[in-house]
Structure formats: C-alpha cells, structure tokens
Structure 1
Amino acid sequence: MVKDKPTFSILITTKNRLSDLRFTLVKIQHLLLQSDVECIIFDDGSSDGTSSFIEEHFPDIILFRNQFSKGLIHCRNQMLNLTTAKYAISLDDDAHFESDNVLENIEKHFVSNPKCGVIACRIFWGLKFPNSTSTNEIIERTKGFVGCGHVWNMEAWQDIPNYPDWFVFYGEEDFAAFQLFKRAWEIQYLPAILVQHRVDIKSRRQQNDYQIRLRRSLRSGWYLYFLFYPINEIPRRFFYTLWMQIKKRVLRGDIKATFAILQALGDIILNFPKLYRQSNRLKVLEFKEISNLAETKIYWHPK
C-alpha cells in the first residue's frame, strides 16, 4: 500500500544481506507502523531471496528490484527521486536507530532550521552496543555526512544534482555536501538521533573486498579535488595524498594496496572528461569558508 504524501520516507538499499536487513526491519518496525511513514527498499540484484522475504513479511514496504546489480548510488538516486515525502531517512541495511523520538526530533529540527539540507546522525560503529549512550556533543554545522545514517530535507535534494553513480561506491555524500554548500544549504549534526551501524571496522582490512574498497575510497577523494577544489589547491593536495599512500602502504609491502593505488590513478585518467564537464569549483573565499566548518562526524564513541 502506497501512503498518500508521507512526511517521512525510510530508504534502504540492499544486496545479498538478508540477515542484516531482517534485523534492521525488526528494529525499526515501530517506525514503519506510523501513518506518516513509508519505507522504500531497493533490492540491487540479490540472489538470497531478499525480495520474496519482503513481499511475504512486509507487504506495506515499497519494493524495487534490479535483476542485475546497478550499484548503491544508482539505487539511492532512484529512491530519492521517487519518494514524495518531505524528509527522506537513509539507512544502510545493517544500521538501525537506537534513540527515542526519532521522527519528532527530525521534524522539529528541520522546522527550526529551514536552511538545513541534511541532518547528520550520531553513529556508533560496532557489533556490540555500548552500555552508555549519553553524550555531551552539541548540534553544529559540519562539512559532510555519513551514508549509513542521515536525513534529507527533500527541498535540498531537489535543488542539487543527483549523486554521481559513476563513483560506484564512496564519495557520493561528499559530492552532495559540496553541491549543498554551493546552493547555500547546511549540513547539521544532530546527536539526539543515534544510529548503530553494525560493522566490525577492524576486520575490514582482512576481508576480500579490502582492495576494491581502498581503490574506490582513494579515487573518490581525488575525484572531489578535480570537481570542486580551486585549481591552485589541487596539485599539492593530490600529490601529498598520493605520497602518503605510498609511504604508509606501498613501502610497507602492502601488495593489495599497491594495486588499489594504481587502479585509482587509472580511474582518474579514465574519468577525467567527466571530472572536467561536471566540475562546480569553489571560489577561493568559498573554499576558505567550507574549510573552517567542523569535520564530518563519522565515528561516535561513548565516553
């Protein structure tokens, strides 16, 4: 059942992670029962029965499915462009809320801060939730937000270009952050909304996708230099980050990282025409202003 003009839309992209998704849906089920909430899930080519499970157990969820995977960013663009809600809550399939009054806090903040384009949530990364969730952090404007837990003011989303799906994975939030800044929208960190991202960060280095994750992470950072930074800032920053990767990884014998760096450099060359055509460069004063903003709040740790 499609709800008529919902206030909130919860957007989740998933692929072959049914156990994670099932856990998330159970944890947020109380939100899904609200009359002003819709949930859209994009199954990006799963082969583990994800779509069948949703259709059977969560028939009110709006389900879309790619027969073959088109990538996380493609799916996020599709869902954000499909919803008619005022506010779009983006969650990973392995993330859920661990705070009360989530919807009330979202709406209250956006109403009180009309230039807020995105709410960045407080995010705890870990499989085991901490005993204490109290924090002395305050609401503040930040440079960016994290993909696994944030909320869009849909007026802001409609005011900027879509995420660049050719990034494939990593960097799309920073791309949006620069575009928002250029259009005078703000990203505001709201610690009252707490998300648990059920990921073991330490184990990622040993996982099979370490090389491809590093490749995509490096190239997305370099893409952003060429898209948004003043031209005089690019050479120094590009070669400094390249040297640091060589120093920290290549010279220490990390073969996977060495290949990832070479592949990321090749991606820059391959996509340079796109970087040139889609650039939206910051002016010098704009660059100074955004550089003075608080850093993106990625990891929250209990005191």
Structure 2
Amino acid sequence: MTKFSILIATKNRLNDLKTTLNQLAYFIQNDNIECIICDDGSSDGTSKYLRDNYPNIILIQHQKSKGLIASRNELLNLTKASYAITLDDDAHILSQNPLEIIETFFESNKKCAVIAFRIFWGKNVLQNTEHNLKPQRVKSFVGCGHVWRMAAWKDIPNYPDWFVFYGEEAFASYHLFKKKWEVHYVPNVLVHHRVDIKNRKKEKDYQFRLRRSLRSGWYLYFLFYPWELIPKRFLYTLWIQFKIKVFKGDIKAFLAIIQALSDVSINLSRLFRNSNRLSKQEFLEYSKLPATKLYWNPKDL
C-alpha cells in the first residue's frame, strides 16, 4: 500500500504549476510516492504539458470546471495512500525530510487527523527558515499546505462542494471535532506559498474572493454553531465589514456583502439539512483551541 500521496488541484496556472513541480521533483520521481493532479478545466495546455512531461503523475482532467472544492474531494477520494499531502499549484515544500516528520508525528499522535504546515506567504525566495515554534493542537488548517490521515478523511463527510471556494477546511475541522479527531500544527514542515497576499485587494478577483469568504463564514455559523449564538455572531461580522471596508468607500466590498447575504438566503434550506450543530459544551471546548495558523514570517522569531 502506498504510504504518501501529493495532491494538487489546478486551473489555468501552468507557469505556477511548472515551478511547483520543479520544486517537488524529488517527490515526483520517487516511485513510492503517489502524485495526483486534477486539471479543473484549464484552457492553457496544462493537461497536455503533464502528459508530455510527467507520465508518472496520475492526471484527472475536467473538460468543464467543477470548482476547487469538488476537485479536492475527487483527489482525496481517489488516492489509496495512508497520508495525503494537499498543496496549491503555487506552493511547494521547503523542509528537509518532511515525510519522515509527518509519519513520525502521526504515529505518535493517534488522534491527529490533519497536520497543518507552517506556511510562508510571499513572492520572494525565503532566506531564513529558522523558527522556535512547537507543535500544538489548533482549530483548523490551511488548504494550501496540510496532510490528511486518510482514515480520518473517510470518517467524515466530503468537503461541501457547494461552498465553491473557501471554508471547506473549517467545515472538515468541525466534523473532525465532533468525531473526537484533532488538527495539529507542525511547524517543522515548511511550505512556501508564492502569493503576494498584500496586493490581493488590488487584483480583479478581490470582490469574488471576499464574497466567497464572507458567505462561507456565515454558512459555517448556520451549520455548526449553537442556535443562540448565531444572531450575535452574524450581525457582528456584518457590522465589522461595514466599519472597516464599506464606510471607508470600498464599493466592491459592499457589493460582495450583498452577494454573500443573497447566497446565504438562497442556501438556508440546504444549511438546515446539513447542520451538525455543536452543543454549548462542545462549542466552548472548541473555542478554547488556538486559532488556525494562517501565516508565518521569519520576523516572528
């Protein structure tokens, strides 16, 4: 049985993918490591490039895009490995001996379902990778760099593909918590996510991303929060968005909020059908866990 797989979903980002595959060459060339890529309806020649240059990579090709979350579900349900590493097409592993670190941690922590990696976000080459962080249990993980114990993945529902974008990691984390599984942050595995996060607001998809981010957060309230907490949390997040964005003249943010509210309204019946609400005690215990470790910077030393 294959012990490790590397899973990547991609769409129309061939240049980023080429860099990632070059950085992951050691893993791809290892016959004992499975690599599966889902080309989610690319029109830039991604599938042809992979077939011509990486015949040992298992390729899933969607003629029409199904979305990131649906692609990740397909990848995770296809692999036969014990541990499945998920990376974005613009992210690669920097650490030495990451597989040994992962296997050792999983073997020593039988309740650990997902290992969240330390992630550096930035376009520049990272010069200093030193850190003084310790592994710890956390609420959730980041999609661009983590690894699943596949026995845990099979113990919960698939990611909600109707979220389309954002929120699937938190969705899984709530279900894992209900099943007594744990998510752990293991900083000894470092991932470089080659994204300029500060300039995302200036990019064309800013409104799209904000809409998806807001609605996924609200979806999660209705799916998992105790009923009595939902109104206050919902109104608070709405107020904050107006305070820090709309009242400062961010018209795109206003439009994104209206769209996200509409999405929640349309999906209310679906949210009620799929709810798996935490009890008050479970919610209190979950709330006490350290927050998801989204970003790491050498300045954090």
Q: TM-score range by the shorter chain?
A: over 0.9
Q: Find out whether 1:9 has 2:8 as its counterpart.
A: no
Match of 1:168 in 2: 164
Deviation at 1:35, TM superposition (A): 2.8
Q: Find out whether 1:226 has 2:222 as its counterpart.
A: yes
Q: Find out whether 1:247 has 2:236 as its counterpart.
A: no
Q: Find out whether 1:294 has 2:290 as its counterpart.
A: yes
The amino acid of 2:176's aligned partner reads L
Match of 1:50 in 2: 46
Match of 1:62 in 2: 58
Partner deviation per Cα, 1:55-109 (whole Å, 9 max, x = no partner): 0110000001110101000000011011110000000000000110011111111
Match of 1:80 in 2: 76
Deviation at 1:199, TM superposition (A): 0.1
- Taking the aligned partners of 2:279 and 2:293, their CA distance within structure 1 comes to 25
Deviation at 1:192, TM superposition (A): 0.5
- Taking the aligned partners of 1:264 and 1:108, their CA distance within structure 2 comes to 42
Q: Find out whether 1:89 has 2:89 as its counterpart.
A: no
- Taking the aligned partners of 1:180 and 1:41, their CA distance within structure 2 comes to 25
Deviation at 1:130, TM superposition (A): 2.8
Match of 1:152 in 2: 148
Residue of 249, 255, 259 corresponding to 1:259: 255
Match of 1:140 in 2: 136
- Taking the aligned partners of 1:72 and 1:298, their CA distance within structure 2 comes to 19
Partner deviation per Cα, 1:262-298 (whole Å, 9 max, x = no partner): 0000000000011000000000110000000011000
- Aligned partner of residue 89 in structure 1, secondary structure: strand
The amino acid of 1:68's aligned partner reads K
Aligned identity (percent) is: 61
Residue of 194, 198, 202 corresponding to 2:194: 198
- Taking the aligned partners of 2:189 and 2:82, their CA distance within structure 1 comes to 18
- Aligned partner of residue 297 in structure 1, secondary structure: coil
Match of 1:268 in 2: 264
- Taking the aligned partners of 1:283 and 1:119, their CA distance within structure 2 comes to 25
What TM-score comes out, normalization by structure 1 length? 0.98
Match of 2:175 in 1: 179
The amino acid of 1:263's aligned partner reads Q
Deviation at 1:32, TM superposition (A): 1.5
Partner deviation per Cα, 1:155-174 (whole Å, 9 max, x = no partner): 00000000000000000000
The amino acid of 2:171's aligned partner reads F
Q: Find out whether 1:117 has 2:113 as its counterpart.
A: yes
Deviation at 1:246, TM superposition (A): 1.1
- Taking the aligned partners of 1:29 and 1:7, their CA distance within structure 2 comes to 18
- Taking the aligned partners of 1:189 and 1:77, their CA distance within structure 2 comes to 22
Count of residue pairs brought into register by the alignment? 299
Deviation at 1:202, TM superposition (A): 1.3
The amino acid of 1:37's aligned partner reads I
Deviation at 1:34, TM superposition (A): 2.0
- Taking the aligned partners of 1:78 and 1:14, their CA distance within structure 2 comes to 13
Q: Find out whether 1:31 has 2:27 as its counterpart.
A: yes
Partner deviation per Cα, 1:229-266 (whole Å, 9 max, x = no partner): 01111010000000111111111111111000000000
The amino acid of 1:80's aligned partner reads L
- Taking the aligned partners of 1:22 and 1:252, their CA distance within structure 2 comes to 40
Partner deviation per Cα, 1:38-63 (whole Å, 9 max, x = no partner): 10000000010000000011000000
- Taking the aligned partners of 1:8 and 1:265, their CA distance within structure 2 comes to 40
- Aligned partner of residue 147 in structure 1, secondary structure: coil
Deviation at 1:132, TM superposition (A): 1.1
- Taking the aligned partners of 2:286 and 2:189, their CA distance within structure 1 comes to 24
The amino acid of 2:179's aligned partner reads R
